[in-house]
Amino acid sequence: MNSIISVMSLEKELAARSGGSCELCGATGDLNIFVVAPKKGDSANDLVHTCNTCNGQLTQEVDVDPNHWRCLNDSMWSEVSVVKVVALRMLNQLKGEGWPNDLIDMMYLEEDDMKWAKEGIEDESEEKIIHRDSNGVVLSSGDSVVVVKDLKVSGSSLVAKRGTAVRNISLVYDNAEQIEGKVEGQTVVLLTKYLKK
C-alpha cells in the first residue's frame, strides 16, 4: 500500500513540476515517467515527464529523429537538474548532426549533475572521426573552405572550380573524408583532400 501511495505522490509532484507537459519538447497529453539512469526513480528529482515521442526515442523503442530534438534548444535551460541531464545526454548522442555542438558548449551543469550526465554518455574514448583539409587542418561544422582543384560533381554538369569558396560546411558524421556544402546554390558532397580551410 505504501509503495502505491509513494508512486501516486511522485506522479502528482511530477505533474505539478511539468505543468502537464513534456519537460523536453513541451507536448501535452499521453505523458510518461522516464527514470534517468542510474537513479532508481525513488524521487521526482530522478524522473522526467516525457511525451510518447520523446519517451520512445529515449528508451530506443523507435529510431531517434534528430529534428525532433531541436526542442532541446529551449529545455536545456530548464531549472530542473534531471531535465538538463537528459538534454546533455541527447545532445551528445546527436553530436554528429553538427548543430548540437554549439548547444553543448553553452550548457552549464553543476558538478554533480555533470557527473550524472556523463554516466549515461557512451565512452568517448572510441575512435573519433576527425575531418582534415588537404593540409591536415581540422575542419568543424560551420567552417568555410576553398576548393584547391577543379572538381566535377558526379550526377550533374556542375564543376566546382579551383578557388571556389564553400561556406558553412557540414561534416559527414560517418566519413572523415567527406563534407557537405553549397556550390552554386546546390548542396554537394566534397572530398576533404581537395579543400583548404
How far is the first Cα of the chain from the last one, in angstroms, to the nearest whole number?
A: 66
* pLDDT > 70 in the chain, percent: 93
Least confident of 86-90, 162-166, 170-174: 170-174
Rounded to whole angstroms, how far apart are CA atoms 84 and 23? 10
Residue 125 has a pLDDT of 43
User: Where in the chain are the domains?
Assistant: 2-119, 145-196
Query: Three cell numbers at 183?
Result: 556550390
Residue 83 has a pLDDT of 96
Residue 160 has a pLDDT of 86
pLDDT tens across 64-96, in order? 999 999 999 999 999 999 999 999 999 999 988
Q: Indicate the residue type of 189.
A: V
Residue 106 has a pLDDT of 93
pLDDT tens across 5-63, in order? 466 788 889 989 999 999 999 999 889 999 999 988 888 999 999 999 999 999 888 88
Place of cell 526513480: 41
Return the CATH superfamily for domain 145-196.
SH3 Domains (2.30.30.40)
